[in-house]
Amino acid sequence: MQSGNCVKAISMNLDTKATLILSKLVPGVANKIVQVARKQNVSDEEFRKKIKTIRFNLALNKALRENVLNFQVTPHELVCMSSAEMCTAEKKEKREMLVKKELSRSTVSLDYKRAQIELLEGLEHVASTTKAKIGYQ
């Protein structure tokens, strides 16, 4: 077998495996998902990761799975989604809460740093004023 044909056979085997894996979750749509994912022109490793991410999220997220089966989410949209976009609503809420919590910490930290800077600037002003009053250079 020539090397080009060998690579093609491996890719088809990988595509077949991916279709079989996804067909358990989204029968009738799995082949189209694999076709769209393959058209992304990514390496076999990236393709495997994408299929694995899709399979994992379809297994956990019933709403996403139903949306794919009802064509409310097209295979193209599914393949283009990030893992964060595919996760369950509960997980999205949890992430959002963590982000808000981290932002509030950052804001408090920034406010504290601004207060320190203002304090230092005030002290520098007092020092320069005092030096001027006593004639210190």
Cα–chain center distance at 1: 40
For helices 44-60 and 30-38, the axis angle rounded to 10 degrees is 150
Instruction: Give the CA angle between residues 87, 64, 71 to the nearest 5°.
Output: 145
State whether 92 and 69 are in the same domain: no
Domain that holds residue 122: 88-137
State whether 16 and 59 are in the same domain: yes
Strand ranges for 1-137 from DSSP E: none
**Distance between CA atoms of residues 109 and 102, nearest Å:** 10
Q: How many domains does the chain have?
A: 2
Mean pLDDT by runs of 10 across the 137 residues of the chain is 48 76 86 91 90 92 92 94 91 87 73 74 71 66
State whether 10 and 72 are in the same domain: yes
Q: Which of 52, 69, 87 is at the close of a domain?
A: 87
Kindly report whether the global pTM for this prediction surpasses the value 0.75. no
State whether 6 and 48 are in the same domain: yes
Closest listed residue to residue 63, CA positions, set 47, 85, 79: 85
